[in-house]
Structure 1
Amino acid sequence: MSEGVASLKHEGSQRQVVIAGAVAGLVSRFVIAPLDVIKIRLQLQIHSLSDPPSVRNVHGPVYKGTLGTLRQILRQEGVTGLWKGNIPAELMYLMYGSAQFSAYTYMSHLLDAIPAPYTLPSSASNFISGATAGAAATTATYPLDLLRTRFAAQGTDRVYTSILASVKHIAQHEGPTGFFRGLGAGVSQIVPYMGLFFASYESLKPVMATSPIPLPFGSSDAVAGVIASVLSKTVVYPLDTTRKRLQVQGPMRERYVHRNIPTYTGVVSTIAHIWKNEGRRGLYRGLTVSLLKAAPASAVTMWTYERAMGAMLALEEKHRDD
């Protein structure tokens, strides 16, 4: 198998795509789990150290920056505090990786089959495929994403004792819709994000492969993934913050580590409320750690996916030759 594979959508069978995507998701989640908890804590914080003491000292901890949040969580909750929500997150990444790459290749093949003169440009095809893949994977795994956020938002006071207990409580007190709080923000975020990410990735990949400058991460695939992810993440970040705020709504809202999370209802009203009461800074809380997370997550995801796919194709070719 040649190492210069042209693009994701032409690699492997559907089964191989699912397996490679699942492996990439699991490995990526393991690497960035602590950064994810830090990001969620910052996103749910409605106050900062610049606020008056009368505001800051009343409702839970006040985090400042990535390192400050890291130290505070370690001091108050121990190392395990950095891995809260990891089990539902691992399940989510397992399903998300498979659904994402599967939907991407499926949609790409459909678009490639469009006859001339209606054939779409490569950039448009990549954008549509990426957006569709992101929307499908987000919707399919959203309940796990919500559970990940709620567990990561717990401080020393345990809101839910286990995943099963959380599922039972949400089903009993919030109904089926409780598992999908903030889905509108999630889909609104992921459609442009994944569209921009895959379009940027496919465009950057051949450029990085021919770069005369030695690349970090040891792979042009990884570098292309990092750049594409950082650009896309910054554009849609306010929707990510909105999604997190909506995910912790419900009867347990005042028991999370931040006990003064306001009541929000919809995507637009949440953005308007944050903008009015916290300013632009409120919409971008945790962006720095999010970008720090995005770089290794995307690099590890794309690098692992490419290597897992390459290994399966090489094994398949070896069996075919035997």
Structure 2
Amino acid sequence: MVGYNPASEEAPITAKEAAAAGSAAGMVTRAMISPLDVIKIRFQLQIEKVSRDSPSGKYRGMWQAWHCILTEEGFSSFWKGHVPAQLLSICYGAVQFASFEFLTELVHKNTTYHSQAPGVHLVCGGLAACSATVVCQPLDTLRTRFAAQGEPKIYPKLRKAVPMMYRKEGLCTFYRGLTPTLVAVFPYAGLQFFSYRVLKRLMGPEHTEAKGNIQSIICGGGAGVISKTITYPLDLFKKRLQVGGFEEARMHFGQVRTYQGFFDCALQMAKEEGPLAFFKGLSPSLLKAALSTGFTFFWYETVINVLSTLKDQH
């Protein structure tokens, strides 16, 4: 049901319905995958030479990192930055899905392309994600800072972090990493929607609601893995840039670096840490991407179906 469907007998999805379903999908999914996100961010920010033979650094594997964080910081640390992360997910889901439904409907009404074509989903999904990124980037920066800090905390609460960051680093700090984010988010989200549509077609029609729900999770998970693998280095660069000016809170985890921009970050990493460093934290990231994308599409379509049923009853 993702995307405007002119062949459907049901009323088209409105922007408000898409926003409500996207928000709900983002909120529930975020609560489920937060521990994997924290582990992924810790790997992405770790400065060390990457070698297949002798891994170094504080975190050397997903399960070792899990145990280390649990022992040193407690179970609740896996939800560090959860408040800004939840705000990010709710806001991002609302803007992304509302924009996507609007754009696919626009394509259907003003072009000869079919709104359910994978290519249309590729372009509309990418553009929708870019619009959501611009709106939600400050929340993403806050989420990264909270997940990155150790003990004792530099930012104890969200309401204190915002004025502290503004006074010390200025308004532009909330948009650190925006360039690699926009460069990455268009192909990432576009490939998500594209792969999801292709995989749904390959799996065949949905004859029952239960089969449709299973298809949403499987196809969404596959789409998440495909898109994340292709665009992963750009997400890593974004995280490195977002913690610039935040070196004090990072000392506990080892070496820190300051980067002047997107290309400087890529060059320094390649020189100091090797090309394999571009894929730090890939394992937890792929697991997170599979679960996150699968459950996002599942919850989105579930909420849309509920809203459509309620609308039909009235």
Matching of residue 86 in structure 1 with residue 82 in structure 2? yes
Whole-angstrom CA distance in 2 between matches of 1:235 and 1:188:
12
**How large is the Cα RMSD of the aligned pairs?**
2.5
TM-score computed with the length of structure 2 as normaliser: 0.90
Local SS of the residue matching 2:110: coil
1:69 counterpart residue number: 65
Give the 3-state SS of the residue equivalent to 1:9 in structure 2.
Answer: coil
Unaligned runs of 5+ in 1: none
The answer as to whether partners of 2:126 and 2:185 remain within 8 angstroms in 1 is: yes
Does structure 2 conserve the Cα–Cα contact (< 8 Å) formed by 1:126 and 1:195? yes
Q: How does 1:202-281 map to 2 (within 5 A)?
A: 202-210=197-205, 219-250=214-245, 252-256=246-250, 257-281=252-276
Does the residue aligned with 2:47 lie in a helix, a strand or coil?
coil
Say whether residues 1:284 and 2:279 are aligned partners.
yes
Please state how far the C-alpha of 1:122 moved relative to its aligned partner: 2.5
User: Aligned pair 1:296/2:303, yes or no?
Assistant: no
Tell me how far 1:259 sits from its aligned partner: 4.5
Alignment-derived partner of residue 9 in structure 2 = none
Mapped contact 1:99–1:133 kept (Cα < 8 A) = yes
How big is the shift at 1:80?
1.0
Structure 1 residues 216 and 290, CA gap change in structure 2 (3 angstroms): farther
Q: Which residue of 1 aligns with 2:132?
A: 137
Cα deviation for residue 50 of structure 1 reads 6.2
Gaps of 5+ in 2: 6-11
Q: Counterpart of 1:113 in 2: which secondary structure? A: helix
Q: Judge conservation of contact 2:36–2:285 (CA < 8 Å) in 1.
A: yes
- How far does the alpha carbon of each residue in 1:74-122 deviate from its partner, in whole angstroms, 9 at most, with x for none? 0000101111010000000000000010111111122222244x88993
Please tell me whether the aligned partners of residues 50 and 274 of structure 2 are also in contact (alpha carbons under 8 angstroms): no
CA–CA separation in structure 2 for the residues paired with 1:189 and 1:148: 18
- For 1:286, the aligned partner's letter is G
Q: Could you give the per-residue CA deviations for residues 239-283 of structure 1, whole angstroms, max 9, x where no partner exists? A: 010000000001x31322434221111111111111111112211
Shift of 1:31: 0.4
Is the aligned partner of 1:182 residue 2:183? Answer: no
Cα pair 2:95 2:128 within 8 Å, conserved: yes
User: 2:274 aligns to what SS in structure 1?
Assistant: helix
Structure 2 residue 306 is the aligned partner of structure 1 residue 314: no
Distance 1:138 1:228 in 2: 19
When residues 217 and 271 of structure 1 are mapped into structure 2, their CA distance, relative to the original with a 3 A threshold, is farther
Aligned counterparts of 2:20 and 2:90: Cα–Cα separation in 1: 9
Q: Specify the alignment match of 1:20 in structure 2.
A: 21
Q: d(CA) in 2 for partners of 1:198 and 1:99? A: 15
SS of aligned partner of 1:243? helix
Q: Determine if contact 2:50/2:273 at 8 Å carries over to the other structure.
A: no
- Number of the residue aligned with 2:44: 43
Distance 1:283 1:216, change over 3 A: farther
> How many matched pairs?
304
Identity, % of aligned positions: 36
What is the one-letter code of the residue matched to 1:12? Answer: I
Q: CA deviation at 1:216?
A: 9.8
